[in-house]
Structure 1
Amino acid sequence: MDILTHIENGILTISFNRPEKKNAITSAMYQAMADALIAAETDVAVRVILITGKPEIFTAGNDLEDFMKNAASLASATTVPPVYQFMQALSNSGKPVIAAVSGAAVGIGTTLLMHCDLIYLADNAKLSMPFTQLGLCPEFASSMIFQQIVGYQRAAEKLMLGEAFSAEDAYEMGFVNRVLPQAELLPYALHQAAKLVALPAASVRVTKRLMKAGQPAAVAAKMTEENTHFASMLNAPEAKEAFTAFFQKRRPDFSQFNYFPASCAILRKLSKLAPGVIRLPS
């Protein structure tokens, strides 16, 4: 099983379990996690949710082959792709969610952390959101949530450059709760989860709801905005060059592209969605 789920002592543990592919996430894995989160919401045996990976890696992000096969569904108006189901379920979870991260957390591996309540990193953790390096843009409200947590300038550096940053950097920015030696990470996360389990469930859930008051609508709106851009940019030449270069194991060459015509093509589509707000350059 590429996703392992286990309920014990009030804690639902969801684990990435595809180490031979660096825990790269497929649509089937997203669906399994979405189903687990949705079921947990009404399961009285679950009081806390813990998301983790392997000691050597959290997740390398999307499995690009699987991702490209299912890319058309991201722009579908009739179906909700599994990745959307997962992120919506995570964002809307009324129960506390803890993330325990060792090794690399690439792309959505970092994005999903923004929708967790407590984040603990091993000292070997390395986070990255390389969307611009793939000719894409931030996803699932990360452009809004990340700068709310760490401030605009720090968020701009990480999101615009797309470069990886260390566990220490993440802690110094205030993005995560604690950095621990790798061997201590999971025991500590489980210890914190057990403390939450021991508290009155209603008190914990109401506290979370109060802290997030007003956020769900804003997050949902930003998700829609980002995902509209993301789906359009997937079909642009820049993204095609990035993915081709990845599979050919070479550096992408973006020098062949300027503002026109690809970027304008995206803006034309978006300007129809928001007339008078998005303006094309003359």
Structure 2
Amino acid sequence: MTGHLIVTDEDATRVLTLRRPEKKNAITHGMYRAMSEAIDTAQNNPEIRCLIITGGSGVFTAGNDLEDFVATATAEAGPFGASDAIRFLYSLAQNTKPIVAAVDGIAVGIGTTLLFHCDYVLASTTATFSTPFIHLGLVPEGASSLLMPRTMGYHRAFAALVMGRVVTAEEAREAGFVNVVVAPGHTEAEARKVAREICALPAEAVAISRKLLRTPPEDLTRRIDQEGHLFGERMKSKEAIAAFQAFFKRKKV
């Protein structure tokens, strides 16, 4: 496990805590691998009844660590679909345990798209959600092009995924991908309460009902692969190269 991800098992719940505050919990490839392992190893563990994903107080995640992401993407000889990010998305798509997300602060890129694979989402009043893929010359990922229109409706999804509009916590609740909005600093504690409520339910009935409610994993992985192929192509595009150069130039100023 990477030091930037803390995994703890408490009672019947596995808690995945992003812990890279100096980078606003920006996700590295090592963090993706650690999250995949934490999710995958919970699948056949009957003692784990629920998962929580949190960034702690003040921030959820700034999304991909772009420097790490670009360096790895340009160095890899294989297809983009083989990346650690895609492996993590597969873990989410194939997961069978209820996932509760606790979002306090910014949720950028995959920080937003992963929420559509979760079953219950709590957000603080200061939480914001954004998917600025287009601004980097890229396309949506995480099966978000499938899940977001189904959850939010096409027009809201277009504004978020294509126009890159920022969504507030209350707007997210109205759009249907946040269950409850709470005070800052209280998302994780409230998420633990929800997890305890889920863990107290009959496990087999929960698993069967969840399967009936959710989009089939094969549909999700098919869309993840489609997006991943296009994402990889876009990484080499003139638009994306110019956008990344501009981003890193601004960062140095």
Shift of 1:75: 7.5
Structure 2's unaligned 5+ residue stretches are none
TM-score (norm 1): 0.85
Q: Secondary structure at the match of 1:91?
A: helix
Matched, 1:157 2:154: no
Residue 9 of structure 1 corresponds to which residue in structure 2?
Answer: 11
Alignment partners' CA distance in 2, 1:40 and 1:196: 16
Residue 276 of structure 1 corresponds to which residue in structure 2?
Answer: none
Query: Using a 3 Å threshold, how does the CA distance of structure 1 residues 227 and 149 change in structure 2: closer, same or farther?
Result: same
Please, which of 117, 121, 124 is the counterpart of residue 122 of structure 1? 124
Alignment partners' CA distance in 1, 2:18 and 2:173: 23
Shift of 1:73: 7.0
Alignment partners' CA distance in 2, 1:141 and 1:183: 30
The one-letter code sitting in structure 2 at the alignment partner of 1:53 is G
Alignment partners' CA distance in 2, 1:69 and 1:184: 36
Which runs of structure 1 show a deviation greater than 6 angstroms over 4 or more consecutive aligned residues?
none
Residue 70 of structure 1 corresponds to which residue in structure 2?
Answer: 72
Shift of 1:54: 2.4
Alignment partners' CA distance in 2, 1:140 and 1:177: 20
Q: Secondary structure at the match of 2:188?
A: helix
Q: Percent identity?
A: 39
Query: Using a 3 Å threshold, how does the CA distance of structure 1 residues 73 and 176 change in structure 2: closer, same or farther?
Result: farther
Structure 1's unaligned 5+ residue stretches are 251-282
Preserved CA contact (<8 Å) 1:24 1:62:
yes
Alignment partners' CA distance in 2, 1:73 and 1:195: 45
TM-score (norm 2): 0.94
Residue 167 of structure 1 corresponds to which residue in structure 2?
Answer: 169
The one-letter code sitting in structure 1 at the alignment partner of 2:240 is A
Shift of 1:176: 1.1
Alignment partners' CA distance in 1, 2:81 and 2:210: 30
Matched, 1:145 2:154: no
Describe the superposition over 1:64-99 as per-residue Cα deviations: whole angstroms up to 9, x where unpaired.
Answer: 111011114778259832111111111211110110
Describe the superposition over 1:23-46 as per-residue Cα deviations: whole angstroms up to 9, x where unpaired.
Answer: 010000000000111101111221
Describe the superposition over 1:202-235 as per-residue Cα deviations: whole angstroms up to 9, x where unpaired.
Answer: 11111111212x6222212211111111100000
Preserved CA contact (<8 Å) 1:19 1:54:
no
Pick the structure with greater CA Rg: 1
Please, which of 178, 181, 185 is the counterpart of residue 179 of structure 1? 181
Larger RCO, structures 1/2 (Cα 8 Å, 6+ apart): 2
Alignment partners' CA distance in 2, 1:147 and 1:75: 33
Residue 30 of structure 2 corresponds to which residue in structure 1?
Answer: 28
CA-atom RMSD, angstroms? 1.6
Alignment partners' CA distance in 2, 1:215 and 1:115: 11
The one-letter code sitting in structure 1 at the alignment partner of 2:23 is K
